[in-house]
Amino acid sequence: MAAGAAVVAAIANATKASGVVVRVSTGNFLAILERIEAPLVVHASGGVFSTSYQYLTSYKGLAFYVKSREPIPLPTTTELVRAKSIWMPG
């Protein structure tokens, strides 16, 4: 029973640490970036059987995330931070 409670507590703590993450479509992600004068985007790619591209940015206190099979053409004003990986809670 204690192990189950520990797992529930760990999940709750991970959710608190990650804040609010909104998963959006590629089109919506690009529309959000257009609203930001100089967007900061965290990017990671990887995969086992096929490559996927993940992008994360913040806008008005929320984190927006998109995963794509193809690289996304980012605005030229984007500051890009390459990450080893991006983990999204369950």
8 Å CB contact between 54 and 84: no
8 Å CB contact between 13 and 50: no
pTM (two decimals): 0.77
* pLDDT by residue, tens only, the chain of 90 residues: 555 555 445 545 555 555 678 999 999 999 999 999 999 999 999 888 889 999 999 999 899 999 999 999 999 999 999 999 988 766
8 Å CB contact between 84 and 44: yes
The full set of domains in the chain, from first to last, is 2-82 (3.30.720.90)
